[in-house]
Structure 1
Amino acid sequence: MDPSADDPAPPEWTRAQRERLVAWAGRARHPHGFAWLDDDGRPRADEGVHTWITARATHVAALHALHAGGTGRTGPAGAAGLAEHGVRRLRESLRDPAHGGWYSRLDLDGTPADTAKAAYQHAFVLLAGATGTAARVPGAADLLADAAAVVDTRFWDDRAGRAAEAFDRDWSGAEPYRGANSNMHLVEAFLAAGAATGEAEWARRALRVAEFLIGEQAAAHGHRLPEHYTADWRVRPEYNRDRPADPFRPYGWTPGHSLEWARLLLHVEAALADPPGWLLPAAEALFTTAARASWARDGADGFCYTLDWADRPVIRERMHWVATEAVAAATALHRRTADPGYAEHADRWWRYVRAHLVDDAAGNWRHELDPANRPGATVWAGRPDVYHAYTALAFAEGLAAPGFALRTAEGSGAR
């Protein structure tokens, strides 16, 4: 279908794309989890099996099975089979049997290659367990309970109202760094865990993280979120200035995370019985600031990956995940407010996605483009992830993940 058509993301197209993304994840199935795939869908031996990739693939497969009402059509065993494989590998291959928690990465032969215990990885294990539980994947409830216990006892700092970043394998040494990225994904996982268990404390924790990172820090920086902090949560604005293209901790501010947070704030609002009134205005301010500062900032369509504190582009490459979070946030804000401007943003950005990121020949989406929207690999090599793209497609169809409820304009009195 022509991406310039009136509806750039019609249901028949989004359904087909979701099927293809889950099929791509099926190609990554490996005896120890899900491998990091290259552009041609082959496992990269140098990357091995990452916990975050395995957990995100498990989450997507479980979500696909949930939406399909069963096994789905993807692969010989269907999406449910992929989800069950992921749950099993997270419980057996990637979990540390000696010290608890999850390794960050294995070699392809199953040997632990990175034994650090990182909040980012554990957030996605918690998410996989929660979504798998909602989809009734065998073993997922046990995975959820295990992950919740580790997050609760090892990472969550109840006094601060946010999580620590990383530890040595035996939990003896804590990294003297705190990160917004891992805490953002823990918010997502907390909401999913709350939906799966019915425990309201998870949503309250999500709000506490949002209060500090968005209500305090982003608000104090013109709705630009500082990503990097000291161990006592002081901002480190110059962190990684000498390594600006770091894939997880880039220098400057990351508009894609502001767009992601814009949507997450709406989910936090929906999860609370009596949400504070600042959540929707903050979501709108994050969205507007990020879209204005990053979209076509250097002349070409697409979102610049990172900006400095004067909104000058630092890494001008276009990441697929930023565009997907943009359309998901625009869709969520339109449903929340009924403001047609958000629908216009979503349509514009879906057309960009279809014109530049969707690779129908390969069956996956290009993960990175250069500033001229040609395939690139400055930050990301290969195509290891289907999670962001699947989320955007599901939102286009109104298929919310566990914990991703929204208050709508009709039900909330919003404009």
Structure 2
Amino acid sequence: MSLRDDARAEGLRLLDWWANHLIDEARGGFLGEIDADDQPVPEAPKGVILNTRLLWFFSAMADWSGDVRALDLAHRAAAYIRERFLDGEHGGLYWLLDAAGQPLDSKKQAYSQAFAIYAFAEYYHATRDAAALAFARDLQALTEARFWDEAQGGYIEALSRDWLPLSDQRLSEKDVAAPKTMNTHLHVLEAYTRLHAVASCGGTEACLRRVLSVMLERFTGRDGHLRLFFDMDWTDRTTRVSYGHDIEASWLIWEAAEVLGDETLRTQVRPVVLALAESARREGLNAEGALAYETSHDGHLDRDGEWWGQAEALIGFVNAWQMTDDTTWMEAADKVWLYTKAQYGAGGANEWTWYAASAEREKIYKAGIWKCPYHNGRAMIELDRRLRA
């Protein structure tokens, strides 16, 4: 089968897996974790990233596949987020709940507010629910009011429940403790792009142009790689190259420019986009078709790519092919897909594994705080739409 046909089949198969494994019948919403052996972990905490990404996935699947299950699960996800993750007193979404749905970590990450905007914009697109659109717009206004640094620009990483500074703003332990990060700005860009695409207005355009400008001016380097971490005054604290983020940013930046419909802007970002894609292909992609995770500035290459990097490489390489008509980009995408099927379980009866089968790494959960169907599910939808067009 071709990559185009495979993408359609794989997207529907992923929908089956996530629809059949995550529902929390006892406590509502979705389970917080499915372990590496496909067993539920009923007492696992419930993260806002998993839940907002589930809302995005089921909403996008409802529109793409027409499957009634997806729409029902999108309704379930939207209701649970508004009922449990929303801070009714201070606004914004909590970071983490316990298994019963009570706040466990009440900090407010800009990253998580962005994913809620992204998810509710997609939910609105699938349902035309005016309340969903209002929720997304309210979260955008809150993000602008609370996280934007009026003095020096950019979005602050995190604040406390009542919007006070935090000593530790990191998304995860592996991140540099920096108050402004590429990762958060990339997903604010992604969220604002989708909101502007489904319900454009002057406010959504202004916000999208602002975050895109910051991405281009601060986070895209002349070497074809993203700068990852900054202090408040924009002192660069980047210590590594992230190939997965390079290729993901390439197509998300291009998508933002296309949604804005500005030909001058498209001309401006085109070389930036292709430089990011080319650096990921040239430095991160090996002969077998695996996209490496990252490399440090001392030259150490982490060759064991995570599942999400392979998914983003598929979209990014196809996007570069669409931009250039250069078939070597499609050859790269085909190579990544063959490797992903051979090493990550794509095309089988299960969710993709975190690492390749050949990687000497401990097995990690199939679903959880950081493992969800957003990357690979989105890749299948994007590939099907792009290749059929």
When residues 215 and 146 of structure 1 are mapped into structure 2, their CA distance, relative to the original with a 3 A threshold, is closer
Contact 1:36 1:53 in 2 (8 A): no
CA distance in 2 between counterparts of 1:87 and 1:156 reads: 26
Matched, 1:279 2:269: yes
SS at match of 1:307: strand
- Structure 2 vs 1, CA of residues 142 and 24 (structure 1 numbering), >3 Å: closer, same or farther? farther
Moved more, 39-48 or 391-400: 39-48
Query: Residue 31 of structure 2 contacts residue 42 of structure 2 at CA under 8 Å; is this kept in 1?
Result: no
Does residue 352 of the first structure (1) align with residue 352 of the second (2)?
Answer: no
1:167 to 159, 165, 185: 159
Deviation string 1:345-401 (CA, Å, 9 cap, x unpaired) is: 11111111111112555421112237x346644xx543331110011111211169x
Q: What amino acid maps onto 1:84 in structure 2?
A: H
- Give the SS at the match of 1:171: coil
What CA distance in whole angstroms lies between the structure 1 residues aligned with 2:128 and 2:29?
A: 18
Q: Distance in 2 between matches of 1:142 and 1:209?
A: 21
Which of 4, 9, 14 aligns to 1:16? It is 9
1:99 is aligned to 2:94: no
Aligned positions of 1:120-269 closer than 5 A: 120-136=111-127, 138=129, 139-157=131-149, 160-174=152-166, 175=169, 177-220=179-222, 222-238=223-239, 252-269=240-257
1:244 corresponds in structure 2 to: none
Using the TM superposition, give the Cα deviation of residue 267 of structure 1 relative to its aligned residue in structure 2, in angstroms: 0.5
Unaligned runs of 5+ in 2: 170-177
Decide whether the 8 Å contact of 2:246 with 2:276 is kept in 1.
yes
Answer whether contact 2:351 2:366 (CA < 8 A) is retained: no
Q: CA deviation at 1:226?
A: 2.0
Q: Tell me whether 383-392 or 18-27 shows the greater mean CA deviation.
A: 18-27
The one-letter code of the counterpart of 2:278 is: T
In the alignment, which residue of structure 1 is the partner of 2:48? 51
User: What is the CA distance between 1:337 and its match in structure 2?
Assistant: 2.0
> What CA distance in whole angstroms lies between the structure 2 residues aligned with 1:192 and 1:365?
26
1:404 corresponding residue in structure 2: none
Structure 1: tracts of 5 or more residues without a match = 239-251, 401-407, 409-415
In the TM superposition, what whole-angstrom CA distance separates every residue of 1:327-353 from its partner, at most 9, and x where no partner exists?
101111211221212111111111111
The answer to whether the Cα contact below 8 Å between 1:325 and 1:392 also exists between their aligned partners in 2 is: yes
Q: Distance in 2 between matches of 1:203 and 1:17?
A: 34
Larger mean Cα displacement after TM superposition, 136-145 or 52-61: 136-145
SS of equivalent residue, structure 1 residue 287: helix
Distance 1:117 1:265 in 2: 25
Determine helix, strand or coil for the equivalent of 1:293: helix
Partner of 1:340: 327
Residues 161, 205 of structure 1: 8 Å contact kept: no
Aligned residue type for 1:170: D
Q: State the alpha-carbon separation in 1 of the partners of residues 144 and 324 from structure 2.
A: 35
Give the SS at the match of 1:109: coil
The structural deviation recorded for 1:278 is 2.4
Structure 2 residue 266 is matched with structure 1 residue 292 = no
Q: Helix, strand or coil: the match of 1:253? A: strand
Question: Match of 1:62?
Answer: 59
The one-letter amino acid paired with 1:164 is I
The aligned residue for residue 248 of structure 1 is none
Q: Percent identity?
A: 24
Which TM-score applies when normalising by structure 1? Answer: 0.81
Amino acid at match of 1:231: M
Displacement of 1:144? 1.4
- Amino acid aligned to 1:54: N
- The DSSP-based 3-state class of the residue aligned with 1:93 is helix
- Give, in whole Å, the separation in 1 of the partners of 2:15 and 2:205: 29
How many residue pairs match? The answer is: 368
How far apart, in 2, do the equivalents of 1:141 and 1:392 lie? 24
Measured on the aligned residues, the alpha-carbon RMSD in Å equals 2.5
* Conserved? CA contact 1:116–1:169, under 8 Å: yes
SS at match of 2:233: coil
Shift in CA distance, 108/10, structure 1 to aligned 2, threshold 3 Å: same
**Amino acid in structure 1 at the alignment position of 2:156:** A
**1:369 is paired with a residue of what secondary structure?**
coil
